[in-house]
Amino acid sequence: MHSNWRDCKAWIDYGTPLNTTSNEACKLFDASVTQYVGWYDDDGVGGLAKSLEDTIAADSTFVMGHVIRNGLDLLGTGTTVRLNPTLATNIDTMMDVCHKEKNLSDRERKHVNAVKLWSDGELVKACHVWEDILMNDPYDILALKFAHDTYFFLGYSIQMKDSLGRVFPQWSRERPLYGYLHGMYAFGLEESNLYPQAEIIARKGLEMNPRDAWSTHSVAHVLEMMGRQDEGIAFMSATERDWSTCGMLSCHNYWHWALHLIEKGDLEGAKGIFDGHVFQRASTSGTPLDFVDACSLLMRMEMEGAKLEGRWQDCYDVIRPHLEDHVLAFNDNHILLACLGAQNAAAVTQMMTSLQDWIADNKGDQVNVTREVGLAICEAFVAYHEGQFDRAVDILFPVRYKVWKIGGSHAQRDLYNQFLIHAALKSSNKQHHALARFLLLERKSNKPNSPLTDRLMERTLTLHAL
């Protein structure tokens, strides 16, 4: 094990001692935390997945080893204890180890409780526990990162910002992983519409670590939301060599690059990013973050009139095993898009039936979100695909101010704004045409420098003369 990873004494000196006497377990835990926070795989430890397993192999009674492995399995949103017997067993093992260990700190027991709550579908309660940890241990970056990512899934942008804002001033440059806090904090600032502050913080993060893919992501996000497409394209091109090897986030950064190109109307360039990077990653990783990006890009390009030549079928082949997962409402929306895009009526029926059964038979935060808004989005997508554009508008418009509850970022949820505009434009209801114009004016006021908005406004004038 590399000597730079922190051993038992180093964790004590850091202020967050661990319940193991195995230096190997401590170092592997450090390697796992570092890779997770930095969104990359370290070949020296065989990558994140291997370091997680090796941590527990080094000491099977190491509670925090179980916490990080189970927590990341859950936060990957690709499985649940309902679907995965191995994960369910791992959660039970974590609880059993926790009960047997007499010398656990209150902080470690709270970590176990938070992961268990997440596994039960209680994401909000899990965040409360992690924040409680941070009140007493502001340097516990695993609690900070787990809460940060879960807030993202919940659409809690203010909490994402404030969680970092509470601990960031207490950190110093000398603390391990300090630089990575910049990208996390910048993202919370950006999602709270504090764009200038977000850009400053993110660029400071890149000064400290040019390979920080999360800081790169935050800058790209800011440039996109501010309508600075040319800067965004130039920035991504100039920094690609630094973040393109960070597999866990590089796909999403390429996704942002493609969004800049779509805004500019460069659909061929966007398809090149899709083929060469986004779908390539999604098809090999099979993880939700990657395949929802692929589906999102295809839907945006399709609405812009791009010829997609079988790409929907390719996406469907990737997402097919996840039709009945129902982990996040956000994921379900995008999985359904692939079913619709591939013209697979049987898959659409299967998924919609499964979704309704899941709502009826389960409980938890995501069940509530799906019942309140996620199912309506899916129904609107189906109506649109069937040519019932007026019905799509009537379903989606009443819940448009609740869409944030499905999670994701402003940029990701902009898909729903664009979809509603396109549905209103295509509707046979003249009142919907007026709605389309109003939504475009709203979009113009929020993002004055958007070429995509300008193109849609021109299309509105062509289709429906004032």
pLDDT values of the chain reduced to their tens digit, one per residue, 466 residues: 456 899 999 999 999 999 999 999 999 999 999 999 998 899 999 999 999 999 999 999 999 999 999 999 999 998 999 999 999 999 999 999 999 988 899 999 999 999 999 999 999 999 999 999 999 999 999 999 999 999 999 999 999 999 999 999 999 999 999 999 999 999 999 999 999 999 999 999 999 999 898 899 999 999 999 989 999 999 999 999 888 877 668 889 999 999 999 999 999 999 999 999 999 999 998 889 899 999 999 999 999 999 999 999 999 999 999 999 999 999 999 999 999 999 999 999 999 999 999 999 999 999 999 999 999 999 999 999 999 999 999 999 999 999 999 999 999 999 999 999 999 999 999 999 999 999 999 999 998 999 999 999 988 877 765 4
The secondary structure of 58-78 as a DSSP string is H-TT-HHHHHHHHHHHHHTTS
Whether 91 is in a domain gets the answer: yes
Helix, strand and coil in the chain, % to nearest 5 = 75, 0, 25
Judge whether 286 and 324 are in contact, CB under 8 Å: no
213 and 172 in one domain? no
The pTM for the full model equals: 0.95
Q: Which two tokens stand for residue 34?
A: 């570092």
Nearest to 308 by CA among 342, 337, 282: 342
Residue 14 within a domain: yes
Domain count of the fold of the chain: 3
Q: How far apart are CA 311 and CA 317, in angstroms?
A: 10
Q: How far apart are CA 82 and CA 286, in angstroms?
A: 19
Query: Would you say residue 378 lies in a domain?
Result: yes
In whole angstroms, give the CA distance from residue 17 to residue 8: 7
In this structure, the answer to whether residues 114 and 139 fall within a common structural domain is: yes
Q: Of 215, 245, 275, which residue is a domain's last?
A: 245
Q: How far is CA 306 from the centre of its chain?
A: 26
Domain boundary among the residues 245, 280, 301 is at 245
State the DSSP code for 19: S
Residue 293 in any domain: the answer is no
- Is residue 95 situated within a structural domain? yes
Beta strands in 78-222 (DSSP E): none
One-letter amino acid at 81 equals V
Do the domain assignments include residue 345? yes
CA dist 35 and 31 (Å) reads 6
Q: Do 183 and 173 fall into the same domain? A: no
Nearest CA to 2 among 37, 39, 45, 34? Answer: 45
Q: Which two tokens stand for residue 16?
A: 């967050």
**DSSP reduced 3-state for 335:** helix
Residue 339 belongs to a domain:
yes
Same domain, 126 and 149: yes
In a domain, residue 262? The reply is no
**CATH value at residue 90:** 1.25.40
| CA atoms of 38 and 451, how far apart (whole Å) | 33
Summarize pLDDT for 5-21 with one digit per residue, the tens. 999 999 999 999 999 99
> Quick one: 150 and 183 in the same domain?
no
Q: How far apart are CA 355 and CA 375, in angstroms?
A: 8
Could you tell me if 30 and 80 lie in one domain?
yes
pLDDT tens readout for residues 225-256? 998 999 999 999 999 988 887 766 888 999 99
Domain range for 55 is 1-177
Identify the three-state secondary structure at position 1. Answer: coil
Contact 17, 105 (CB under 8 A): yes
Instruction: Tell whether 151 and 193 lie within a shared domain.
Output: no
Distance CA 374, CA 358 (A): 12
Torsion of CA 89, 356, 283, 407, to 10 degrees: -90
Are both 112 and 206 inside the same structural domain?
no
| Residue-wise burial string across 241-275, b where 16 or more C-beta atoms lie within 10 A, e elsewhere | eebbebbbbbbbbbbbbbbbbbbbbbbebbbebbe
Q: Could you give the 3-state DSSP secondary structure of residue 4?
A: coil
Question: Is residue 52 located within the same domain as residue 132?
Answer: yes
Instruction: Determine phi and psi for 464, rounding to 5 degrees.
Output: -135, 90
Closest by Cα among 293, 245, 301 to 269: 301
Specify whether 161 is located in the same domain as 191: no
- 82 burial type by CB count under 10 A (0-12 exposed, 13-18 middle, 19+ buried): middle
Could you tell me if 357 and 415 lie in one domain?
A: yes
Q: Let me know whether 58 and 163 are in one domain.
A: yes
Residue 387: strand, helix, or coil: coil
Of 177, 192, 215, which residue sits at a domain end? Answer: 177
Task: Find out whether 423 and 392 touch, Cβ atoms under 8 Å.
Answer: yes
What pLDDT, on a 0 to 100 scale, did the predictor assign at position 272? Answer: 96
